[in-house]
């Protein structure tokens, strides 16, 4: 006897179903009726299983069949195998409906304060068993993680990439960049401060690896001013916000971040050349998992709401948080 003879292809799942049905109903006739097949088919299949195993599984009598000691052992294992298969079937069904599973999303500043949290909240309301993992890093790090399969999709500013053939970008909305400071900042006493007039204050600017940093440097050059010497270079939204509300720093931020924060106020100083496309980036050769596809749909729905606010208010009115539908 070899221990792997049950794995050589002769034992079928239907054999397990048949043997457990016979045990449950105590009769070949009733098992056949339950399985909607004929009695000779059940008899022949049982004989095949017993021949394969080399043991008798049931003893026959006028009252029906009774499992032998071998039958009791095999029936218990058969039930366990069928239970695991049913569990696997339910698990796959839930995964295809995005009821279970994990989606890992990378983000960087734009979209992280309203779009992504709203999309996650509405996704969880619809699919509470989906686990969402959020990773924050600079765009170059996120792109590497995306191509390496460490994240399913990224949310943030869309910029040209050398890997355009391997990545698909979908724009969700356009968001202006605005200069912001805390509500009680002394700069708000000035009616219309120009960019050169703001150089006397400390600033927070993005790190070198970001497109916004390059655009700010170009804007400063056009306006004839140097990059502020008194500055902090930061992309962490938590650190950035704490510095904004507790000190006199000025920062250039996506408009929705400032609009949704009652401790921050937008400066009237225009930044006409800086306007960002916010969207999602996905790998071309890896179809999204059901959980990732579900999150993507919620991102699209929330983005439409945000774009409508931006269009209606021309980028100036506050955005009132909405409960998920």
Encode burial over 84-111: b for 16+ CB neighbours within 10 A, e otherwise.
Answer: eeeeeeeeeebeeebbbbebbbbbbbbb
Instruction: Give the per-residue pLDDT at 320.
Output: 37
What's the CA gap between 145 and 306, in Å, rounded?
A: 27
A 10 A CB-CB count for 279 gives 22
Instruction: Give the per-residue pLDDT at 256.
Output: 79
- Residue 241: enclosing H or E segment and its boundaries? helix 237-246
Whole-prediction pTM: 0.64
| E strands present in 146-295 | 153-157, 167-182, 203-205, 231-233, 250-254, 264-266, 275-283
CATH of the structural domain 101-313, one choice from 3.40.190.290, 2.60.40.10, 3.50.50.60, 3.30.1330.60: 3.40.190.290
Over residues 52-86, the pLDDT tens digits come to 999 999 998 888 899 999 999 999 999 989 988 88
pLDDT band of residue 287 (cuts 50, 70, 90) is confident
What's the CA gap between 309 and 255, in Å, rounded?
A: 12
Average pLDDT, the chain: 86
Instruction: Give the per-residue pLDDT at 184.
Output: 93
**Predicted confidence (pLDDT) at residue 315 exceeds the cutoff of 60:** no
Over residues 73-122, the pLDDT tens digits come to 999 999 989 988 888 887 787 777 777 789 999 987 656 678 899 999 99
Instruction: Give the per-residue pLDDT at 185.
Output: 95
Angle at 157 between CA 96 and CA 137, to 5 degrees: 80
Architecture of domain 5-96: Orthogonal Bundle (1.10)
Instruction: Give the per-residue pLDDT at 68.
Output: 95
Instruction: Give the per-residue pLDDT at 2.
Output: 52
In sequence order, the β-bridge partners of residue 59 are 66
**Predicted confidence (pLDDT) at residue 254 exceeds the cutoff of 50:** yes
What is the CB-side half-sphere exposure of residue 265 using CA atoms within 13 A? 11
Instruction: Give the per-residue pLDDT at 321.
Output: 35
What's the CA gap between 114 and 170, in Å, rounded?
A: 18
The domains of the chain are located at 5-96, 101-313
Of 70-79, 93-102, 145-154, 282-291, minimum mean pLDDT range: 93-102
Structure tokens at 226: 């140097």
pLDDT band of residue 323 (cuts 50, 70, 90) is very low
């Amino acid at each position: 006897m070899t221990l792997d003879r049950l794995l050589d292809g002769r034992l079928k799942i239907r054999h397990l179903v048949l043997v457990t049905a016979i045990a449950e109903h105590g009769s070949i006739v009733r098992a056949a009726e339950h399985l909607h097949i004929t009695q000779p088919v059940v008899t022949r299949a049982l004989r095949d299983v017993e021949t394969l195993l080399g043991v008798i599984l049931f003893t026959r009598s006028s009252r029906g069949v009774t499992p032998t000691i071998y039958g009791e052992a095999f029936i218990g294992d058969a039930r366990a195998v069928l239970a695991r298969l049913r569990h696997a079937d339910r698990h796959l069904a839930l995964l295809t409906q995005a009821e279970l599973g994990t989606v890992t999303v990378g983000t960087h500043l734009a979209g992280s304060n309203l779009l992504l949290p709203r999309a996650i909240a509405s996704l969880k309301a619809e699919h509470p068993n989906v686990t969402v993992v959020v990773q924050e890093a600079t765009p170059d790090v996120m792109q590497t993680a995306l191509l390496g399969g460490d994240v399913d999709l990224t949310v943030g500013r869309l910029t040209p990439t050398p890997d355009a053939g391997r990545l698909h970008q979908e724009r969700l909305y356009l968001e202006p960049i605005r200069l912001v400071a805390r509500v009680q900042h002394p700069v708000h006493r000035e009616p219309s401060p120009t960019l050169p007039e703001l150089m006397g204050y400390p600033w927070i600017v993005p790190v070198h690896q970001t497109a916004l940093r390059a655009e700010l440097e170009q804007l400063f050059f056009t306006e004839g001013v140097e990059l502020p010497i008194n500055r902090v270079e930061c992309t962490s939204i938590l650190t950035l916000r704490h510095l904004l509300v507790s000190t006199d720093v000025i920062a250039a931020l996506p408009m929705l971040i400032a609009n949704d924060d009652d401790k921050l106020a937008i400066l009237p100083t225009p930044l006409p050349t800086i306007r960002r496309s916010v969207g999602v980036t996905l790998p071309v050769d890896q179809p999204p998992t059901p959980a990732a596809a579900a999150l993507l749909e919620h991102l699209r729905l929330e983005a439409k709401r945000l774009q409508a606010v931006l269009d209606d208010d021309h980028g100036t009115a506050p955005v009132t948080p909405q409960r998920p539908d």
